[in-house]
Amino acid sequence: MSLTRAQKLEQLRGGTAEFEIVVIGGGITGAGVAREAAGSGLRTLLIEQNDFSWGTSSRSSKMVHGGLRYLGSGQFNLTKDAVRERERLMAEAPGLIEPLRFIMPHYRKQFPGPRLFQILLRVYDRIARNPSRQHLSAAETLQWVPGLATDNLVAASGFTDAVTDDSRLVQRVIEEAEADGALCLNYLKAEAILRDGDSSRVTGIELRDTSTSAAGQTFTISTALAINATGAWAKALQQTGDDTFRIRPLRGSHLVLPFSRLPVSCSVSLFHPRDRRPVFAFPWQGTTVLGTTDLDHEENLSREPAITREELDYLLEISGTLFPASGITENDIIATWAGVRPVVSEQGKNAKPLKPSQENREHVIWSDNGLISIAGGKLTTFRLIAREVLEKAQNLMPGFSLRNNDARVFSPPAKLVRPQTISHRNWERLQGFYGPALGEILNAGCHDTISGSDILWSELAWAAANTGVVHLDDLLLRRTRLGLILPSGGKALLPEIRMACQPVLGWDDDTWELEQSRYLGIWQAGYSLPADSGESA
């Protein structure tokens, strides 16, 4: 039986555990580093100041893709790595990383035209070694995408990428790291990197438990190697400033719509008429998602990011352009989410700033006497980034050998017989989401699905008991996505959720009431419509 969060924390406070590497940051990058480090035999600790995947890694566009537009801008190596990792992930974890058909309609006198786009796709397919390129006539396009705008439609291009539940992906990678001996804790903040006074070498980290509203006392652990995978916060732990590049937080916002209002079986992409950025409408967990925006995020990074009125209008405009007959308005919106990408900008102080969509999506790694920091990069390439970080760490750990590049990220799922009450489609999802833990899911409770979703009640109960849930928003926004796919964040179901999960969580009635109030406040502020809207999502 795995340790509870309280037991892990006690182990740390007691000073009985020693770590060869401490990973700071519980998003996909930190999870990937912890997974590769533990799989390579290192005594590994992963810490996250909020919840696992609280930041960018639960608020992405959910795409595991090669970045076709990066290929179009000449970033060939980024595209090559991402496409091949996409293929690998789909092969290792079907059900978690799922192929998704993309349709790009072409309209008369709009760039890029079908001929140029097909050339780009030919290169894309060659890199992937898995051809999926397709040219569609206008009539064939409408068979794929009923309700699409037809004025001046001349053709469409089809290709295949992939989609995931980004937060579940992070959790699954963390579970694999823990299976190889890593200790992973959320709500544990690195207050400071401790260094030797003479050499400035890293000697330890000062930590603080942030799981309660009362600031916990700090304590220290010893380590000679720390990996700073905190994304937009990456420079906060540095001992010296480095002006060769800066981290530019960029916000991307999304709308969640009822599938019945915008039924799409594939991802439909179009360049926004306002700024020529690609915007997508795609199916996700029984809903349709519309996104994303791309603009500078100038708010406090520690606050929940939220969609603005301008972004809402921007996305509704493209929905009206793509699907003019749908009549989508803000009254249709189930939820919203906004994520902050930690893009690395290498521009000098006096250079003319690039538009957000023009910034390079490559990652940057830098080393500082035992502190290795990573910023930028893509969800799809988390494994490659993790290995690159650990290759730099090899220079600091004589005798350390990184595990074979062919080693799996994900263990195969448990070989179990599908219960007749669970559909074939949902069984595939469960296998991908939980892998070896699937048997525990089935034993955790009722196999009925939660109304309005494919999520089993047993999934919710298992997550509450086994995944380090500290707050109700951890459970409903990240361990499951009920807060994103149910109206009003699932408020109507909270009494039933309480019956299923309060005993497992060990919360008394006062605690549940406080957590419910906290969750609904977070949902209203960060996942509903903008505060200046006349309606609530």
**Assigned domain for 145 exists:** no
Q: What is the pLDDT of residue 349?
A: 53
Question: Helix axis angle, 509-526 relative to 494-505, nearest 10°?
Answer: 130
**Assigned domain for 148 exists:** no
Token pair for 108: 């008369």
Q: Tokens 């400035």 belong to which residue?
A: 200
**188 and 48 Cβ atoms separated by less than 8 Å:** yes
Q: What is the pLDDT of residue 215?
A: 60
Taking alpha carbons only, the member of 183, 262, 230, 186 closest to residue 478 is 186
The Cα–Cα gap between 340 and 298 comes to 10
Same domain assignment for residues 377 and 496: no
Same domain assignment for residues 46 and 173: yes
Same domain assignment for residues 238 and 261: no
Token pair for 275: 């700024």
pLDDT digits (tens, 9 = 90+) for 267-285: 998 888 888 888 999 999 9
Specify the amino acid at residue 376.
G
Q: Which is it for the CA torsion 374, 377, 378, 383, positive or negative?
A: negative
**Assigned domain for 307 exists:** yes
Average the pLDDT over 6-23 and give the result: 88
- Provide the domain count of the chain: 3
**320 and 330 Cβ atoms separated by less than 8 Å:** no
Report the percent of the chain where pLDDT is more than 70: 94
pLDDT digits (tens, 9 = 90+) for 447-494: 999 999 999 999 999 999 999 999 999 999 999 999 999 999 999 999
**Assigned domain for 510 exists:** yes
Same domain assignment for residues 193 and 334: no
Q: What is the pLDDT of residue 198?
A: 83
The Cα–Cα gap between 363 and 375 comes to 6
CATH of the domain at 187: 3.50.50.60
Same domain assignment for residues 187 and 39: yes
The Cα–Cα gap between 317 and 279 comes to 11
448: burial class by Cβ within 10 Å (0-12, 13-18, 19+)?
exposed
Model confidence at 426: pLDDT above 60: yes
CATH of the domain at 517: 1.10.8.870
**Assigned domain for 227 exists:** yes
What is each CA distance from 218 to 97, 189, 221, 380, in whole angstroms? Answer: 39, 9, 10, 35
The Cα–Cα gap between 508 and 468 comes to 18
**Helices (H), ranges, 402-456:** 424-434, 438-443
- Write down which residue in 285, 315, 344 finishes a domain: 344
Q: What is the pLDDT of residue 99?
A: 96
**484 and 333 Cβ atoms separated by less than 8 Å:** no
The Cα–Cα gap between 205 and 221 comes to 6
- Write down which residue in 282, 311, 344 finishes a domain: 344
**453 and 284 Cβ atoms separated by less than 8 Å:** no
Range of the domain at 237: 20-57+167-245+355-394
Average the pLDDT over 139-150 and give the result: 96
Residues 6+ positions from 466 with CB-CB distance below 8 Å: 2, 437, 440
Judged by average pLDDT, the poorest of 108-117, 210-219, 406-415 is 210-219
Same domain assignment for residues 436 and 512: yes
pLDDT digits (tens, 9 = 90+) for 365-378: 988 899 999 988 88
**Assigned domain for 110 exists:** no
pLDDT digits (tens, 9 = 90+) for 173-214: 999 999 999 999 999 999 999 999 888 899 999 999 999 865
Tell me the β-bridge partners of 205. 193, 221
Report the percent of the chain where pLDDT is more than 90: 74
Taking alpha carbons only, the member of 120, 126, 115 closest to residue 70 is 120
The Cα–Cα gap between 240 and 232 comes to 17
Q: Report pTM.
A: 0.95
Q: What is the pLDDT of residue 458?
A: 98
Same domain assignment for residues 182 and 325: no
The Cα–Cα gap between 476 and 316 comes to 26
Token pair for 390: 């650990």
Same domain assignment for residues 388 and 374: yes
pLDDT digits (tens, 9 = 90+) for 430-448: 999 999 999 999 999 999 9
Same domain assignment for residues 282 and 364: no
Q: What is the pLDDT of residue 390?
A: 97
**Assigned domain for 3 exists:** no
Same domain assignment for residues 222 and 368: yes
Helices (H) and strands (E) in the chain, counts: 16, 19
Specify the amino acid at residue 485.
I
Same domain assignment for residues 282 and 332: yes
Same domain assignment for residues 519 and 433: yes
Taking alpha carbons only, the member of 322, 260, 311, 327 closest to residue 287 is 260
The Cα–Cα gap between 88 and 96 comes to 12
Average the pLDDT over 57-83 and give the result: 85
**Assigned domain for 432 exists:** yes
Cα 135 from chain centroid (whole Å)? 31
The Cα–Cα gap between 492 and 256 comes to 18
The Cα–Cα gap between 454 and 462 comes to 15
Q: What is the pLDDT of residue 142?
A: 96
